[in-house]
Amino acid sequence: MRPWNELTDQVQVVTFDIFDTLLHRKIRAPVDLFELVRLKAFETDFALLHHDFLDGYAGYRRAAEQDARKAQLLHSEEGEICLDEIFEQLRNDHALPDPLVDYLKATELELEDTVLFASPDGMRRYDVARGKGLQIGFISDMYLPGDWLSQKLERVGFQGAAQYPLYVSGEHRVTKRSGALYRKVGAEQGWALNDTWLHVGDNRMADVERGEALGLRTTYADWADVDNRPLPDETAFGVNAITAITGFIDKRPSIVFQPDGMLERIGYRVFGPLMFGFTLWLLHQSQQQDLKKLLFIARDGKLPMRLFNRLKARAGLADIETEYFYMSRKVGYLTGMREWDSEQTRRITIGRGAKSARRSFGAVGLNAEEYREELDRFGVEDIDTPIAPAEAWRVMKAIDTAFADVLRNNAETRAALQPYYLQAMEGADRIGFVDIGWVGNIQRLFANSLPDANARDRLVGLYLGQLPSSSFNEARGIRMHSFLTQGAYKKPVQKALHQGGIELLEFAMTADHGTTIDLSRDEAGHIAPVLETPSAEETDYARKAVRVQDGMEYFLDEHAYLLEHFRLETLATPHWALPLLKLVDDPTPEQIGALAGLTHSDALGSNAERLPLVSPLSGWKRYSPSHRRKARRSSYWKSAFDQLLRRP
């Protein structure tokens, strides 16, 4: 600020460029505004009558502006135009009816007003100039109405802006670019074109070079970051509009919204858009499926519940009841097993790491000591020695032979603990069952823990993502919907989930308490969850997750304004997952540095046995193909492993 102070000591007049100097847009590029207008237009009946036109609207709007400028060149030297002329051109180019043209113009102004915010750098400079009592003016090469801009500056916090002269090229038909607008301003305001006039702007040619050529002092607004190239034709409806919003995160002006700290920033930039989209989708599903209650399942459901409650009133769905329900697969396998299927047993025994027979038997409530004979028949001699995944079938077969005991135990435990599940079903006929997802086992086990076999039909699983193996539960009548694995996103998302996405998401959504390992019933009959006491490593993991979640909440708060302009069904799109897909496929070195050292546990009902997201490889082992293969195989986050290996 010192140079600015010094500069303003020597001048009498300060003029400011407006866009990207005093005001920024919360979108990737100015032309992206037309993508937002297009998205909104598809919420109206205009889309029924003018579908094809609106489909190509962003391009048509850009072309209309160019055509209007060309047409204006016939009447004025510089071809400067105003907003009305652009829309007149659009009307003529496409033979549009007045109501549609009026709607598009009004929507553009409405959204422009929404996305514009004051630049802190510009504001500081404006305040200093104003504080010194300097003469102030605004000069912009722009087609928007001057009055509207003047009022907008006032509204976003430039106090007194409306009383200062404001010149826009569209109204005066001359530009800064040619220098004519400076001359016009100088003549009308009585400001001499010399170094007592300081102009600030972000366009090197129009604001700096042209101003200096006329004898003005100039300052380049280096806090802007604009590249006004349009996005390519979109591959799926709405992707460009969402990219317009998420793309802004990579622009310098967005830094004012982002929290401090690398983990918080990752939360804001990557998981924030995803969880914002997921929350909108949950709201939309609740509305569409008339769900009056949502059960958020521990532990991954804690954050979604917090975000849901934060937005539900703004979405007009304040009446939806939410409940946090402590459950885990481990608890579910004690009450929810009522059939015997090989796939179910496989899921109990598999895992990336080696698991002892004692642990696998314990997962279904059996003491492996009592099944030594069965284990011996399948070649398992020591029940405490971890068994490699390749040999896990032996334990699986041994558990199979104990199927009758498991089912009997489950029936007895279920009878005792049923009230715990029944209370969660109170309050609504149809209930949303919200969890991170993948295969829907917990939903099936929950449904099977209820006395009524038809209770499963009252539950609607609402998941972040689903894997192909969820077909096992779907075949059993479990209803599931997923946010990410729908439409064109299904395959790329499922691929990303297997390349480290699952572990990254489970980290980002983890709650700050241990996993549910049991249910206890006291003498009064009250049933309560028993939580695992987290290890030091797990506590550190959860602490980091909370930091990431802080960033997500920042993002949610910053973008909740979209609910005032768009319908839920428009916004509830998986396009919000694009930053996550990029993190999984092509992480930045900073992201790798912050996340690669995390550990993950896939052991049933325990978070103590943890494996790193990226297996470390150092020294000569980095050059050994066999070590590289092995380390890559055991790394959850493959692209991060590859990038780390490429580094010198």
Partner 1 sequence: MPDFSTETIGIVLPRVATPALFRRALQSIRAQSVGDWRLVITQSPEANENMRRVAEVVLSEPDPRIAFLPDMDVETESEAINRALDSLDTELAIIHSECDSWSPDFLAVMTRIYDTKRALLPGLKGIVSGVAAVEETVSGAHITIDSVTDWHPPGSVDDLHDGVLDIRRIVVGNPFPAIAFLFDRREAREIGFYDTTLPLLAEWEFHQRFCLRNDVWVHAERLAFHHVATDRTDPLDQAAYGALLTNRWVRREGEAGLGTLRILQALSALPRTSAPPKPPRKDDKETPKPPTNPRTPAKKQKGKIGTALSKLNRARKRWI
Contact 389, 432 (CB under 8 A): no
Instruction: Please choose, out of 52-60, 351-359, 566-574, 581-589, the segment that lies near partner 1 by the rule CB under 8 A.
Output: 351-359
β-strand partners of 433:
295, 461
582 belongs to the binding site for partner 1 (CB under 8 A): no
Cβ burial, residue 432 (10 Å; 0-12/13-18/19+): buried
How far apart, in whole angstroms, are the C-alpha atoms of residue 546 and residue 526?
Answer: 31
Please give the distance of CA 265 from its chain centroid, rounded to a whole number.
Answer: 12
Tell me the per-residue interface mask from 368 to 397 with partner 1, x by CB under 8 A, - otherwise: ------x--xxxxx----xxxxxxxxx-xx
235 belongs to the binding site for partner 1 (CB under 8 A): no
β-strand partners of 219:
200
Among 132, 346, 582, 628, interactor with partner 1 by CB under 8 A:
346
362 belongs to the binding site for partner 1 (CB under 8 A): no
561-588: string of b/e by CB count within 10 Å (b at 16+)? ebbebbbbebbbbbbbbbbbbbbbeebe
Minimum Å gap between C-beta 92 and partner 1 is 55
Instruction: Please choose, out of 9-17, 296-304, 403-411, 538-546, the segment that lies near partner 1 by the rule CB under 8 A.
Output: 403-411
350 belongs to the binding site for partner 1 (CB under 8 A): yes
609 belongs to the binding site for partner 1 (CB under 8 A): no
Q: Which is nearer to partner 1, 294 or 402 (CB)?
A: 402
Q: Which is nearer to partner 1, 169 or 449 (CB)?
A: 449
How far apart, in whole angstroms, are the C-alpha atoms of residue 330 and residue 408?
Answer: 17
Among 195, 259, 403, 458, interactor with partner 1 by CB under 8 A:
403
Minimum Å gap between C-beta 245 and partner 1 is 31
Picking from 101, 99, 171, 111, the residue whose alpha carbon sits closest to that of residue 566 is: 111
Contact 152, 23 (CB under 8 A): yes
Find the largest Cα–Cα distance for the chain: 102
341 belongs to the binding site for partner 1 (CB under 8 A): yes
How far apart, in whole angstroms, are the C-alpha atoms of residue 437 and residue 74?
Answer: 62
Among 204, 408, 543, 629, interactor with partner 1 by CB under 8 A:
408
Number of residues that bind partner 1 (CB under 8 A): 55
How far apart, in whole angstroms, are the C-alpha atoms of residue 32 and residue 37?
Answer: 9
How far apart, in whole angstroms, are the C-alpha atoms of residue 500 and residue 347?
Answer: 19
Among 73, 187, 453, 530, interactor with partner 1 by CB under 8 A:
453
Contact 561, 36 (CB under 8 A): no
Minimum Å gap between C-beta 362 and partner 1 is 18
Among 494, 516, 549, 570, interactor with partner 1 by CB under 8 A:
494
Minimum Å gap between C-beta 414 and partner 1 is 8
468 belongs to the binding site for partner 1 (CB under 8 A): yes
Instruction: Please choose, out of 91-99, 229-237, 338-346, 557-565, the segment that lies near partner 1 by the rule CB under 8 A.
Output: 338-346
Minimum Å gap between C-beta 110 and partner 1 is 45
Which residues within the stretch 534-573 sit at the binding site for partner 1 (CB under 8 A)?
none
Sheet-wide strand order for 480-482: 321-325, 293-297, 431-438, 459-466, 480-482
Number of helical H runs and strand E runs in the chain: 32, 16
User: Is the bond preceding 299 in cis, omega lying within 30 degrees of 0?
Assistant: yes
Picking from 331, 363, 558, 346, the residue whose alpha carbon sits closest to that of residue 448 is: 331
Q: Which is nearer to partner 1, 49 or 388 (CB)?
A: 388
290 belongs to the binding site for partner 1 (CB under 8 A): no
Place of tokens 């366009």: 203
Place of tokens 């946090």: 324
Contact 383, 438 (CB under 8 A): no
401 belongs to the binding site for partner 1 (CB under 8 A): yes
Q: Which is nearer to partner 1, 342 or 539 (CB)?
A: 342
600 belongs to the binding site for partner 1 (CB under 8 A): no
β-strand partners of 25:
116
Contact 58, 34 (CB under 8 A): yes
Q: Which is nearer to partner 1, 354 or 560 (CB)?
A: 354
Minimum Å gap between C-beta 494 and partner 1 is 8
70 belongs to the binding site for partner 1 (CB under 8 A): no
How far apart, in whole angstroms, are the C-alpha atoms of residue 347 and residue 340?
Answer: 12
Among 50, 130, 310, 338, interactor with partner 1 by CB under 8 A:
338
- Length of the chain in terms of residues written: 648
Among 124, 498, 521, 633, interactor with partner 1 by CB under 8 A:
498
Among 415, 416, 488, 608, interactor with partner 1 by CB under 8 A:
415
411 belongs to the binding site for partner 1 (CB under 8 A): yes
Minimum Å gap between C-beta 641 and partner 1 is 16
Instruction: Please choose, out of 99-107, 216-224, 226-234, 470-478, the segment that lies near partner 1 by the rule CB under 8 A.
Output: 470-478
445 belongs to the binding site for partner 1 (CB under 8 A): no
Place of tokens 């047409």: 71
Q: Which is nearer to partner 1, 346 or 628 (CB)?
A: 346
419 belongs to the binding site for partner 1 (CB under 8 A): no
Minimum Å gap between C-beta 221 and partner 1 is 51
Picking from 579, 610, 645, 635, the residue whose alpha carbon sits closest to that of residue 28 is: 579
Q: Which residues bind partner 1 (CB under 8 A)?
A: 338-343, 346, 349-352, 354, 374, 377-381, 386-394, 396-397, 400-404, 407-408, 410-411, 415, 439, 448, 451-454, 467-469, 471-472, 475-477, 494, 498
